[in-house]
Chain A
């Protein structure tokens, strides 16, 4: 079959990195620019143009956000009273927990963890018990591509997060997996430092209002920090000290609230049926499953 002619739009799409989704067309462009120095020169010029545009506008992302823009989302009055409201809410939660504990004791049942984080707290605790820090002895050994954004499509809403960058705290991402649970898809990110300490971070989308500040619960030697913020429920588990777990949790909470570096692509919907729920392990995308396998072997 004869090659289709290469148009300016093909070159433009190539310069913008778009033909990665169409390997056949990309191969044709590669072939054409290999044959034609003029096309190659035109492509190089377009690539330089795209790079110059991105470089010119990149600093805007790091500019401090003006007060007048933040105030649109959270009016000053609300922020002023926010602390008091949060404190009152926490008191209510604590009172609720005491009441629940009393009822639990009366009826012999376990007291649930607060809010929608309970499943994550259980999962995080189980993981930390099964894989103590010794499992990561030897330090970080991240697989390329592991820092790609985590994408969910839940209730028709797409959400993309970059895995938190904790390099300033000495931690690197060493493993990632996705699971299906009864409450939706959970992503587990495991971090380790050079001293052999590690923790697992569990993230799950949620579409309910009501935040919970970072809380810490201890079960034996395991510390589990959990919090609910916007559309994400998070839990961190490790056998590191409670103080360190809390400090890591606060750092992660701030990182998650930042905008992602990658375009907010539409992730592929995850088709679930009752039979595939519970402990089935799935990757974020089929292509990435291969990347995960190599890493998971060293851990599980």
Chain B
């Protein structure tokens, strides 16, 4: 395996995790990763060989996600995101309950707030790195993060108070 493929291969688990913050359905998230990998392999000669291959891959993944968005929105029509969730099941234990809530809550946020939260809070990128991946100024990133995290705080609390919680794979 050449060195760029080697570098890309070891990022697959992280790409799958970030994709899951963008696409709730695991199969759709893996579709996103597959498209990202195909594009990265095809375009690897264009990689500037500057900085981290991980940031480059996140950038491709987010671009692929944005490109797929119109189709996804068409498929969803006007349906509420909640209607696409898996069937609800009672939570088994507290730990599961919290995870289910936070994921459910995250996926109720708009894409432009969910994407920076995934990069910073889940993937651990700095704000500068996340802004670079998303192709937005850092001030815009901060603003989206602030609004998104605040909304998440309310949704997270509200969900915890609901008697029937949905389980997330």
Interface residues of A (CB under 8 A from B): 8-9, 12-13, 16, 18, 45-46, 49-50, 52-57, 60-63, 65-66, 68-70, 72-74, 155-160, 206-209, 211, 229-231, 257-260, 262-266
Q: When the two chains form their complex, are residues A157 and B50 in contact, meaning their CB atoms are under 8 A apart?
A: yes
Q: When the two chains form their complex, are residues B7 and A159 in contact, meaning their CB atoms are under 8 A apart?
A: yes
* A249 to B127 alpha-carbon distance, docked (Å): 38
Q: When the two chains form their complex, are residues A8 and B21 in contact, meaning their CB atoms are under 8 A apart?
A: no
* A16 to B153 alpha-carbon distance, docked (Å): 15
- Classify the secondary structure of A's interface with B: mixed
B3, B52, B123: the one within 8 Å of A231 (CB): B3
B146 part of interface (Cβ distance < 8 Å): yes
B8, B12, B123, B149: the one within 8 Å of A65 (CB): B12
A sample of 9 inter-chain contacts (CB < 8 A) reads: A8-B146, A16-B124, A18-B127, A56-B168, A60-B20, A65-B16, A69-B33, A160-B52, A230-B3
* Distance in Å: Cβ of B125 to nearest Cβ of chain A: 6
B91 part of interface (Cβ distance < 8 Å): no
B54, B55, B126: the one within 8 Å of A18 (CB): B126
CB-defined interface of B46-76 with A at 8 Å, one 1/0 digit per residue? 0001111111000000000000000000000
B164 part of interface (Cβ distance < 8 Å): no
* A13 to B121 alpha-carbon distance, docked (Å): 10
Given contacts A12-B145, A55-B99, A70-B12, 20 further A-B contacts (CB under 8 A): A9-B146, A12-B149, A16-B121, A49-B102, A52-B102, A53-B117, A55-B98, A60-B16, A69-B37, A72-B34, A73-B1, A73-B8, A73-B41, A159-B7, A208-B3, A230-B1, A230-B2, A263-B54, A263-B123, A264-B54
* A158 to B47 alpha-carbon distance, docked (Å): 13
Residues in A with CB closer than 8 Å to B20 are: 57, 60
Residues in A with CB closer than 8 Å to B5 are: 73-74, 230
Q: When the two chains form their complex, are residues B16 and A63 in contact, meaning their CB atoms are under 8 A apart?
A: yes
B165 part of interface (Cβ distance < 8 Å): no
Give the size category of B's interface with A: 35 or more
- Residue in A closest to B38 when the chains form the complex, CB atoms: A72
* A264 to B8 alpha-carbon distance, docked (Å): 13
- Classify the secondary structure of B's interface with A: helix
* A16 to B141 alpha-carbon distance, docked (Å): 14
Q: When the two chains form their complex, are residues B16 and A49 in contact, meaning their CB atoms are under 8 A apart?
A: no
* A89 to B158 alpha-carbon distance, docked (Å): 62
* A156 to B56 alpha-carbon distance, docked (Å): 14
Residues in B with CB closer than 8 Å to A50 are: 121
Residues in B with CB closer than 8 Å to A262 are: 124
Residues in B with CB closer than 8 Å to A72 are: 34, 37-38, 41
- Residue in A closest to B117 when the chains form the complex, CB atoms: A53
- Residue in A closest to B42 when the chains form the complex, CB atoms: A72
B28 part of interface (Cβ distance < 8 Å): no
- Residue in A closest to B104 when the chains form the complex, CB atoms: A56
* A72 to B15 alpha-carbon distance, docked (Å): 14
CB-defined interface of B16-27 with A at 8 Å, one 1/0 digit per residue? 110011000000
B134 part of interface (Cβ distance < 8 Å): no
B13, B125, B150: the one within 8 Å of A259 (CB): B13
* A263 to B102 alpha-carbon distance, docked (Å): 22
* A145 to B34 alpha-carbon distance, docked (Å): 36
* A209 to B49 alpha-carbon distance, docked (Å): 15
* A209 to B139 alpha-carbon distance, docked (Å): 41
* A230 to B2 alpha-carbon distance, docked (Å): 6
* A46 to B8 alpha-carbon distance, docked (Å): 32
B95 part of interface (Cβ distance < 8 Å): yes
B9 part of interface (Cβ distance < 8 Å): yes
CB-defined interface of B109-145 with A at 8 Å, one 1/0 digit per residue? 0000000010011111111010000000000001001
* A56 to B98 alpha-carbon distance, docked (Å): 8
A45, A157, A231, A263: the one within 8 Å of B153 (CB): A45
Residues in B with CB closer than 8 Å to A266 are: 51-52
Q: When the two chains form their complex, are residues A53 and B122 in contact, meaning their CB atoms are under 8 A apart?
A: yes
Contact of A209 with B3 at beta-carbon distance under 8 Å, contacts A56-B99, A73-B8, A266-B52 already known: yes
